[in-house]
Amino acid sequence: MIEAQLGVAPQPAPPVNRAHAAKVIVKLEVREVVKELADKVQYMFWTFGGNVPGPMIRVRKGDTVELHLMNHPDNAMPHNIDLHAVTGPGGGAASTFTAPGHQTQFTFTALNEGVYIYHCATAPVGMHIANGMYGLIVVEPESGYTVVDREYYVVQSEFYTHGAFREPGLQPFDMQRAINEDPAYVVFNGRDGALIGDRALPANVGEKVRLFLGNGGPNLISSFHVIGEIFDNVFPEGGTVANHQVQTTVIPAGGSAIVEFALQVPGTFILVDHSIFRAFNKGALGMLKVSGPENKQIYSGLEVDEVYLAERSAKATEALKGSKDGGDSLEARMARGKAVYMGTCSTCHQLEGQGLASVFPPLAKSDFLMADKQRSIHTVLAGLQGPVEVNGQTYNNVMPPLANFTDHEIADVLSFVRNSFGNQGEAVNDAEVAAVRAELKQPAAAGHP
Amino acid sequence: MAPVPGGSYAAFYPVKGEAPQPVAPFWLDLQPVTNAEFLAFVREHERWRRSRVPRLFAEAAYLSSWAGDLELGPDAEPAQPVTFVSWFAASAYCKSVGKRLPTEAEWELAANPASDDPLALDEIARRTLAFYARPRGKLPRAGDTPPNAHGLHDLHGVIWEWVADWNASLALADNRQDRDPENDAFCGGAAAGASDPESYATFMRFAFRGSLEATYALHHLGFRCARSTPP
């Protein structure tokens, strides 16, 4: 006679590690308890063992299981239990109908191996399940499961509240929403954020991980995926036939799955229901935080981050061809300045210097530009904000400072714009730019990216 | 007590072919029986005191919220409904004051006055559900909740209440099987078989009654009495 060691999610029950069948005693206490469903959101959960999901039960195929169900005297409702691993009426529900302050017992033989949901089946059944009364019973094959480095126990389910997602306060159950299959919450392990932040599941590079997965429903099917990982093995529906190399596996409502994968690189790997709005807007999101050495060959991390000009790049390249540093003649400056202009300034001021009506002022025949050379140097170095009047129109936008261009480059581009697009004026030389830069107390530029 | 007009009660879990049953007019207590009233009863009827009652008539939790045989104590205020009383004890109390327990049909009729007003029905459901959603706090004093159309208080959302024939709806322990037509003999009929499948508040009441035995004395279970003739 063995007293079962139960697992409280996310920890699994320990492997059975036994070469023969045995009689196993399992004791489950039903508690109706108010707990947090999300930050500042409370809910009256009906639970096995005080938690959602209920504890993981783990036995061996062929075991005789003596199941005790206790209904705490402070509870208001009767409860029972249906274990999908049981062959017999109601999966046990017919023999465990228990009033508050009472306990019942029945015994079954675990004829079949697999991963099975258990849940309460007292009328109204949907409500009992919706309030959190489910968990997993794992019936190991006679030879047990292969040894892995880490096992976790994760159950997805929904909650149907009057209030919206994360609306604070004690939220009552909403039967109409449950009938409409319109949950406010779709979560792992009984609450929004159960596997986030400091509750994330830890693991290490090099480890083989197994997840025992359940779906308590009551309504939705899960499309389970771990972002950044591929499942080496999947036992769909908790059965015995393995699938391999799977990205996303389906967990039926009232069903289960086992997934196994090896960890090759560190990082945070996100568990989701890939019906993706459930992950981002209803809470179906958890974290597996993997520590250890990087492997840049498998995953390099960010290698390049630079400007992308798209169709503008053609003009810039063309301009660059003529821009070998040919000295400080106006011609040479115009050629180099054009390259700078096409590569950067044209983003806002456009390819013909025409600007964008009511957004970016034109440089073409611009009275503002040509009126004051010093001001134009200052504008490139320090940027410009606030209302300006250009060619009779008011513009009020933000030009960022471009002080990372060298004095040489700024002199070139200003010479270019002051002699293009219908403008005609003096060139600008490096010393003039340097002088304004000194006034602005800016450091020397590194050069443009 | 208040008069409750007679009517026709359609069973929540009807047997196939069962017609609604006629219910004669009756009188029902305005509120549940209180600790003070039950204390007066056990003072006079020694065999119903906690230390004297046979287990055949009340299980070990009988009057467990009281401090002693004749002492209420801090957990049982005189004006609160008495709980932790068995069906046998409740029946004996009602008999001692010239009354009886209401039948399930009478209780359900009194608690669900016929109404065209959907808001009235919604309110009943809301109160019942709020009861189950709330953390278990102190019991209110009897009579504290607003009266319904018959002038009766506390029928929803305070405590469960014994009826004379709580075994009349033999919902099976596994409530999903009740829709099996072979179960006519068991008067079963959950979900699709129930007369109002969306009244989940009613489901909870019937499921609760189905879980009882006559000796049970439970934390949230009390009673009130009825009469067929005016008091």
Tens digit of each residue's pLDDT (9 = 90 or more) over A417-439: 999 999 999 999 999 999 999 98
Most confident of A297-301, A318-322, B43-47: B43-47
Interchain proximity A76–B160, CB inside 8 Å? yes
A79-127 pLDDT, tens per residue? Answer: 999 999 999 988 999 899 999 999 999 999 999 999 999 999 998 899 9
B-contacting residues of A 366-425, CB under 8 Å? none
Q: B83, B142 in Cβ contact below 8 A?
A: no
According to DSSP, the β-strands at A57-60 and A64-71 are unpaired
Interchain proximity B174–A124, CB inside 8 Å? no
For the ranges A282-296, A379-393, B5-19, the lowest mean pLDDT is seen at B5-19
More confident: B174 or A401? A401
Q: pLDDT band at residue B139, thresholds of 50, 70 and 90? A: confident
Interchain proximity A175–B200, CB inside 8 Å? yes
CA distances to A102, B15, B108, B195 from B128, rounded to whole Å, are 23, 26, 14, 18
Is B186 in the A-facing interface, judged by CB distances under 8 Å?
Answer: no
Contact residues on chain A for B169, CB-CB shorter than 8 A = none
Mean predicted lDDT score pLDDT of chain A: 93
Q: A441, A397 in Cβ contact below 8 A?
A: no
A25-77 pLDDT, tens per residue? Answer: 999 999 999 999 999 999 999 999 999 999 999 999 999 999 999 999 999 99
Instruction: Report, as an integer, the average pLDDT of A128-136.
Output: 97
Q: Identify from A120, A122, A131, A176 which residue to disrupt to test chain B contact, counting B C-beta atoms within 10 A and taking the largest count.
A: A122
More confident: A326 or A32? A32
Interchain proximity A78–B176, CB inside 8 Å? no
How crowded is residue B194: how many other Cβ atoms within 10 Å of its Cβ? 26
pLDDT score for A357? 87
Interchain proximity A76–B172, CB inside 8 Å? no
pLDDT score for A46? 97
pLDDT score for A446? 55
Contact residues on chain B for A80, CB-CB shorter than 8 A = 173-174
Q: How many CB pairs under 8 A join A and B?
A: 107
A-contacting residues of B 146-175, CB under 8 Å? 160, 171-175
Residues of A218-247 as b/e, b for ≥16 C-beta within 10 angstroms?
A: bbbbbbbbbbebebebbbbbbeeeeeeebe
Q: pLDDT band at residue A320, thresholds of 50, 70 and 90? A: low
Q: pLDDT band at residue A324, thresholds of 50, 70 and 90? A: low
Q: pLDDT band at residue A289, thresholds of 50, 70 and 90? A: very high
Most confident of A310-314, A345-349, B165-169, B214-218: B214-218
A437 backbone dihedrals φ, ψ, rounded to 5°: -60, -40
pLDDT score for B177? 54
Residues of B208-221 as b/e, b for ≥16 C-beta within 10 angstroms?
A: bbbbbebbbbbbbb
pLDDT score for A7? 97
Decide: residue A144, CB within 10 A, 0-12 exposed, 13-18 middle, 19+ buried: middle
Distance of alpha carbon A271 from alpha carbon A426, whole angstroms: 63
CA distances to A296, A448, B96, B231 from A306, rounded to whole Å, are 20, 11, 92, 92
pLDDT score for A87? 95
Distance of alpha carbon A52 from alpha carbon A155, whole angstroms: 9
More confident: A105 or B131? A105
Interchain proximity A76–B220, CB inside 8 Å? yes
Distance of alpha carbon A320 from alpha carbon A417, whole angstroms: 16
Query: Percent of chain A scored above 90 by pLDDT?
Result: 82
Distance of alpha carbon B159 from alpha carbon B32, whole angstroms: 9
Is B203 in the A-facing interface, judged by CB distances under 8 Å?
Answer: yes
Fold of B1-171+184-231: paralog of FGE (formylglycine-generating enzyme) (3.90.1580)
Is B56 in the A-facing interface, judged by CB distances under 8 Å?
Answer: no
Is A39 in the B-facing interface, judged by CB distances under 8 Å?
Answer: no
Instruction: Report, as an integer, the average pLDDT of B173-202.
Output: 49
For the ranges B26-35, B200-209, B217-226, the lowest mean pLDDT is seen at B200-209
The whole model's pTM is what? 0.75
Is B138 in the A-facing interface, judged by CB distances under 8 Å?
Answer: no
pLDDT score for A123? 86
pLDDT score for A298? 95
For the ranges A61-70, B117-126, B142-151, the lowest mean pLDDT is seen at B117-126
> What is the chain A residue with the closest CA to B173?
A94
Interchain proximity B210–A78, CB inside 8 Å? yes
Contact residues on chain B for A90, CB-CB shorter than 8 A = 173-174, 176-177
Q: A273, A283 in Cβ contact below 8 A?
A: no
